[in-house]
Every structure is written in structure tokens, then in C-alpha cells.
Amino acid sequence: MSRANAGTKGVPRADRELQILRAACEVFGTMGFAKASVAGIAADAGISKPLVYQYFGSKEGLFLASFNYGAETLAAEMERVAADDSVGVERGLHTLDGLFRTLEPQPWLWRLLFDPSAPDDGEVAAARAVYTDRITRLAVEGVGELMRLVGDDDPLDASALTAVWMSAVDALITWWLDHPGVTPTQMTERCHRLIIAISGAALPAELPAEGGVRRQAERSSLRA
Amino acid sequence: MSRANAGTKGVPRADRELQILRAACEVFGTMGFAKASVAGIAADAGISKPLVYQYFGSKEGLFLASFNYGAETLAAEMERVAADDSVGVERGLHTLDGLFRTLEPQPWLWRLLFDPSAPDDGEVAAARAVYTDRITRLAVEGVGELMRLVGDDDPLDASALTAVWMSAVDALITWWLDHPGVTPTQMTERCHRLIIAISGAALPAELPAEGGVRRQAERSSLRA
DNA sequence: CAGGGATATGACCTTTGAGTAAGTTACCTC
DNA sequence: GAGGTAACTTACTCAAAGGTCATATCCCTG
């Protein structure tokens, strides 16, 4: 009588796993690994905590499964776009377009990929390394093409621009998440306009000197 | 005899506060609010945990003080640059230059500003709102000038580009943190080249159609 | 229809880290 | 030099969340 609701409900393991995984993706992607609680995910999935542990072993194991699902979905989409023959900025826009469309039904997958609160060791770190490599490779390739186009062959420049590009993608997706109702098509068009705006803004060939005299950062009030 | 090392060491409160604050800024900025432990910060500062609580009240209070210090330092620098008369891309580069120089001695201050694991309510949230407003205002202003320069007057475009710009700043600083030995001056020059590269890459006036047929995201393996 | 295995749970154990109580030492003032 | 106050510590409490245990129900097979 103490374990009142115990006993099987006849749902096969594969179904439950999917059910748990869906809830986990949303919670981990929305709140991040650290703030998410296994009990909360179990509640969202409509089952109890021990079942999660029985099927996924640990919080880390559950996150790993969620991460793998999300990362695979997104990496596959990016590779699909990369296989096309567009180059430079156009390739970048196609990638964004593909991501917007892939993320539309489950936008939180994106956050899963770059969760700073996820454990940085063990299997999770290994999986992240695999997918980061896979995605960074694509970005490096695209940026490399662009740099070749304009005659800049400094490898550190390419590395930095890759970082900027990936971060810009992140920012655009985040902005999109914050503006519900904007369709993927509208977002892609917006990105197109933004690129044109940046390209169009004139820039002096030589940068005027700056940063000579420097104040010491003022000793601001320490307390609130 | 039980409290062997107790008793004052004659260090005045203001000195200790500064000492604790320095350690806190580095730890919070490096590991983030959630992963940081008060005991760890106390150890780094060379004192014991209760003294931290006596002077700062709570972990949140300590973070708030750290945040205010870092945010004030950086906001002041950005406002200083904004007061100059450069516009568009040039203004952006000057802002980056100022940030690189300000962050050189204490790079972790940057991470403090955008810590996703920081509490999102209470005084910390209020302080973040204040500084986010202050900094975003500058970015919006700069982006607005640029958009006017190129004739794009869609306010949502400006909003999105602001997000991209702030994220690009973040990416460049992060990249810089990952490449020790690169001087602020070298970084500013690199940013200059990157802008030129992006501007220089040709772009078709009309975007080729993309995103028609869509595969369903494949049902990838659920487990690791 | 006996029993083994898969599905399921309430109650528990354990660890971690925020926060506190209470005592100790030094200095400063009268 | 008595006593008040500021500086400082050890040793604790407590809550939250990860993880486990013992048990309950169902279904399938011989």
C-alpha cells in the first residue's frame, strides 16, 4: 500500500525513452544542464525519477543522449548545406536558412549544443569534442573559402573569423527565439539585408590611431 | 584552543573587501556564478568563509559587488569611446580597441557581464538590467548610425544587427582570451582586416532560392 | 496457472555547498 | 588595565538534488 502507484503500465521501453528524451531536450536546452533537475524532467515526461535512472543511468547519461540527438540533427543539416556548391557569404546564408528551418519545431536544440554548464569531462566532453570538430570543420571550410576570395591568408585571421561567424549564428538564432512569429524565410531575408548593410558601410583604408593615453579604470564603489 | 587561528589580524575592512572582491571577480568570471563556491573564493583570497558572509552578506551579494565593479569598468570605457565622433564600422573598431585594452589586465571581467548561470531575479537581475540597458543603448546607437548610412530603416533589422554585433564582440574577446600573447593592438588590426574581408566578399543581389524540399530530421540513435 | 522478466514507484541515503552560531584575538579608548 | 568593538576562525545546521533500494504490477511463456 505504500508504493501505491507502482507496477508496469505496459509502455515499452523505446517509447518511454523517446518520451523522456523529448522532455530532457527541452529542459536541458532551455535551462541548461546545471539548472535542470532530473526529478523535474521526470515530472515533465509524466513518469518518476527512478525510471529515468533505470533507462539513462545518470543525469550525465541523460544529457549525453539529449546532446547526441540535438547535435546529430544540426550537424547533419549543416553538412547537407555544405555539400551544395555555394561559397563565401552565400554559403553562410544558406547555412542559416537551413538552421532556421531545422530549429523551427524544436528551437531549444541549439542551446543544447553550446551549453556552458554542461560537464567538461567524461563522455559528454568527448561527444562535444566530436560534434564541435564536425561543425567547426564546416565553418572553417566556409570561412577559408571566403578568406581566399578576398586574399587574406593569415590562418589566425581565419580562426578568429570562424569564431565570429559561429557566434553570429548563435546570436541570430537567439534573436529569432526572442521574436516568435518571425518565419524562417523572413529570418533568412533579414540576414541577407544585414550582410549587405555591413558590406555597404564604408571603411577608411587606414585605421586612425586610438588607444594612446589610457585612464586607470576608476575605483568604483565596491558595494551595491 | 578549538578556534586556534581565530582573532583579528589587523587588516581593515576596506582592504579585505578589495582582496575578496578581486578573488571573486576572477572566480566568478572564470567559472561562472553557479560553479563558483564561496568557500573556494575565500580560500583564494586567503581568508575564511564567514568573513566573506560578514562583509558581503551572501553569495549573491558577493556576485553583485563583482558584477557592479566589472560592469561599471566596461560600461565606462564603452561610453568613453562612444563620446568620440567616429561612426559606423570605425566606431565599432574603436570600441573593440578600448575593450581589448581595458580587459588586458583582468580579462575575466567580460565573462562576468554575460554570465548565464547568474541568478535571474532579485538585485542581481536589477543590476544586470541597468547595465545591459546602458551597454545596449550604445550598441543600438552605433548600429543605428550604420543602418542610416546604408539606408536600411527596418527597426527589427537594427535590433538583430545589434544582437549580432554584441555577440561578435563577445566572440572576439573570447578568441583573444584563448590566444594569449596577442596584444590589444594586434587584435584591433585583426578586427580591421576581418571587416574588410567580410565587406570584400561579393554577394549576389538576389538570394538564390533555398529551403524548398525538407527532409525530416532523421531518427538518430537515442543512446550514446 | 506458476514464475520470470520488464515496467514502474515511494521512500530512502548521500553528497555538496550555502549560510550560521559561537567563540578568540587584537586594538583602541578612557 | 578594564572593557567595548572590529576582525577572524572552527565547527556546525540545513536544504536541494543526484542516486539507490525494496517493493508492486503486469504480461508472456511453458
CB atoms within 10 A of CB A36: 23
> In this complex, do B174 and A168 lie within 8 Å of one another by their Cβ atoms?
no
> Is A36 part of a structural domain of the chain?
no
Look at B217 and A131; give whichever has higher pLDDT: A131
- Per-chain mean pLDDT for chain B: 88
Is B50 contained in some domain? no
* Burial class for A158, CB neighbours closer than 10 Å (0-12, 13-18, 19+): buried
pLDDT averaged over consecutive 10-residue blocks of chain A (224 residues)?
A: 73 95 98 97 97 97 98 97 90 94 95 95 96 95 91 94 95 94 94 89 53 38 37
The answer to whether A136 touches A75, Cβ cutoff 8 Å, is no
Q: Look up residue B212 and give its DSSP letter.
A: -
pLDDT tens, position by position, B9-36: 888 999 999 999 999 999 999 999 999 9
Q: How many domains does chain B have?
A: 1
Contact (CB<8Å) A207/B90: yes
Tell whether A9 is covered by a domain: no
Note the pLDDT of residue A203: 59
Query: Does the beta carbon of A169 lie under 8 angstroms from any beta carbon of chain B?
Result: no
**pLDDT-based confidence at B220, cuts 50/70/90?**
very low
In a domain, B179, yes or no: yes
How far apart CA A113 and CA B68 sit, in angstroms, is: 30
Tell me which chain A residues have a C-beta less than 8 angstroms from the C-beta of B190.
154, 156-157, 160
* Strand C bases, protein C-beta under 7 A: 5-11, 17-27
Nearest to B127 among A171, A214, A224 (CB): A224
How much of chain B exceeds pLDDT 70, in percent?
88
Average the pLDDT over each of A3-12, B43-52, B119-128 and give the range with the smallest value: A3-12
Say what the ipTM of the complex is: 0.85
Say whether the CB atom of A36 is under 7 angstroms from strand D: yes
Cβ of A12 less than 7 A from strand D: no
**How far apart, in whole angstroms, are the C-alpha atoms of residue A49 and residue A40?**
8
Q: CA A84 from chain center: how many Å?
A: 22
pLDDT score of B94: 95
Crossing angle for the helix pair B184-200 and A122-150, to the nearest 10 degrees: 60
pLDDT 10s digits, A142-181: 999 999 988 999 999 999 999 999 999 999 999 999 999 9
Is B58 at the interface with chain A, CB within 8 A?
A: no
Contact with chain A for residue B123, Cβ under 8 A: yes
Q: What are phi and psi of B128, to 5 degrees?
A: -65, -40
pLDDT in tens, A36-60: 999 999 999 999 999 999 999 999 9
Give B202's pLDDT tier (boundaries 50, 70, 90).
low
Q: What is the rounded CA–CA span in Å between residue A88 and residue A93?
A: 9
User: Which stretch of DSSP H or E encloses residue B96?
Assistant: helix B88-103
Do residue A150 and residue B200 have CB atoms under 8 angstroms apart?
yes
Parent domain of A115: 66-199
**Considering only CB atoms, which chain B residues are within 8 Å of A36?**
none
Q: Is residue A155 part of a domain?
A: yes
Contacts 24+ apart (CB under 8 A), A155-162: A156/B179, A156/B182, A156/B190, A157/B190, A157/B193, A157/B194, A157/B197, A159/B175, A160/B172, A160/B175, A160/B190, A160/B194, A161/B194, A161/B197, A161/B198, A162/A136
Q: Quick check: is A161 in a domain?
A: yes
**C-alpha angle A99/A135/A153, rounded to 5°?**
110
Q: Give the burial string for B8-24 (b: 16+ CB within 10 Å, else e).
A: eeeeeeeebbeebbbbb
Please give the nucleotide, over all strands, whose C1' is closest to the CA of residue A2.
Answer: C10
Do residues B78 and B57 touch, judged by C-beta distance below 8 A?
A: no
Handedness of CA B153, B154, B158, B161 (dihedral sign): negative
What CATH number does the domain containing B144 carry? Answer: 1.10.357.10
Using CA atoms, how far apart are residues A110 and A29, in angstroms rounded to an integer? 7
Q: What is the pLDDT of residue B204?
A: 53
What was the pLDDT predicted at A36?
A: 97
Q: Say if B69 falls within a structural domain.
A: yes
User: Is residue B152 included in any domain, yes or no?
Assistant: yes
